[in-house]
Amino acid sequence: MGFTDGLPAQPAEPGLPEIVVDARTRGFLWPGGPIGGREFAEARHSLFDGAFTWPVMTARRSALDYNIATLARFADRHGLAFAPHAKTTMSPQLVRAQLDAGAWGVTAATPGQVLVHRSFGVPRVLLANEIFDRGALGWLAGEIGRFDFLCFADSIEGVRVLDEMAGDVPFRVLVELGHPGGRTGCRDHDELLAVARAAQEARGTELAGVAGYEGTHHEAAGVRGFLRDLARAARTLAPQVAGPIVVSAGGSSWFDLVAEELAPLTEEPGATVLLRSGAYIAHDDGYYREHTPYNRLEGELRPALEVWAQVLSVPEPGLVLVGMGKRDVPHDIHLPFPRAVRRGGRGPAEPLSGVTVVTVQDQHAYLDGDAGLRPGDLVSFGLSHPCTAFDKWRVIPVVDDDDVVIDLINTCF
């Protein structure tokens, strides 16, 4: 089954937003009246038959399906629950696909993201962050009786605001462990135990477990050491937790070590180890290609995103200007990677080498080299860091392996 099979884009299934294409939908050449997403997809446009304008970002269905199934199998094989970090895509269709594949729920980064996920019916959300937003806490206090919600705390002040804003149902708290030089999280076990004690004693909070983020370590030894500290904290806190403990970790670079170090905790009756990988779903041609655990494990993840853009000018030897810029592609870690070319915008795609993106401006990319590129050629670019790719596109065409558009997904950033 495909990742959106049975999930209509138009009209929307209850809880899923309706997708509409019109002249304001970037990447789509649709000057007429609005058309529903399902109707558009049923036309089975080729990406190159005139229904799109450049640049446009696409998502390849076969890669998305493969990656979702791969991580679902990984989590199941290691006895982990999976709460994929939906900040990567903020796409209700892709969230639903991961839930359908067996995900426990989803992870969010902000209260606003929790609100979005609740708006299309996600039954379990982990807010993997501290929260002090009293307006959001007021809404959550009235909502958490209708869904499962957990959040982080790394300070007594954080527990105090949760306690003050709680309603009839207490906020379930994972105390966050950090490390010196890292991001959020208690810096040592004494501090963590003090926050845990505050969460345990407050009327408006319930101590549910412990969490951490290992991705601020950049070497395996540091990751292992941190995860072992997290496991030790979990064993210390387990007798104090109301019910079976929840332990959460895991980005998309070290989930193999998360499984090795934390899966033994699931031998305790009812204990849940909750993996939070998010970028895995789209993978990439840059950062995650370099850092995926499948460089150490048997198997692979597949890059699902690419941007097609048009050569606008070759004003001097060795310089190619393409109509693609900071509004269209991620540029925070690596610049895009030229992969293929359709000469004159027509004919089959040919592998492309000998050119490199060296600069992106708002609407232009500068390519060094030429590879015979001429104005009017269409170039395909692989991307680095999907978390800063999805947020640039409101509606994304989903293509099959022949670049026929078979569905649309939308994002809610």
Q: Compare 6 and 264 and report the one with higher pLDDT.
A: 264
- Regarding the domain delimited by 63-284, which CATH topology (the fold level of the hierarchy) does it fall under? TIM Barrel (3.20.20)
Cα–Cα distance measured from residue 100 to residue 30, given in angstroms and rounded to the nearest whole number: 32
Radius of gyration of the chain (CA): 23
Of the candidate CATH numbers 3.40.640.10, 2.40.37.20, 3.30.43.10, 2.30.30.30, the domain formed by 20-61+302-410 belongs to 2.40.37.20
Highest mean pLDDT among 2-11, 60-69, 263-272: 60-69
- Rounded to whole angstroms, how far apart are CA atoms 68 and 102? 10
**pLDDT average, residue stretch 98-106:** 98
Does 5 have pLDDT greater than 90?
Answer: no
Residue 84 has which token pair? 């994929």
Residue range 213-259, pLDDT digits in tens: 999 999 999 999 999 999 999 999 999 998 999 999 989 999 999 99
Percent pLDDT > 70 in the chain is 96
Taking 60 as the threshold, does the pLDDT of residue 312 lie above it? yes
Helices (H), 106-165: 111-119, 134-143, 156-165
Residue 191: which residues within 8 A CB-CB, separation 6 or more?
A: none
> What mean pLDDT, rounded, does the chain reach?
95
Residue 12 has pLDDT above 50, yes or no: no
pLDDT score, position 8: 30
Q: Do the two domains 20-61+302-410 and 63-284 of this chain adopt the same fold?
A: no
- Averaged pLDDT, 305-331: 98
Tell me: pLDDT of 10 over 50: no
Span 190-201, pLDDT tens digits: 999 999 999 999
The reported pTM is 0.95
| pLDDT higher than threshold 50 for residue 13 | no
Of the pLDDT bands very low, low, confident and very high (cuts 50, 70, 90), residue 61 is very high
pLDDT of res. 15: 66
How do residues 33-60 score in pLDDT, each as one tens digit? 999 999 999 999 999 999 999 999 999 9
> Is residue 14's pLDDT more than 80?
no
Q: Which residues contact 399 (CB under 8 A, 6 or more apart)?
A: 47, 58, 59, 60, 61, 405, 406
Amino acid 2: pLDDT: 35
What's the start-to-end Cα distance of the chain, in Å?
Answer: 27
CA dist 378 and 314 (Å) reads 13
Task: Give me the residue spans of the domains in the chain.
Answer: 20-61+302-410, 63-284
Q: What is the DSSP letter of 255?
A: H
Closest CA to 87 of 251, 267, 263: 251
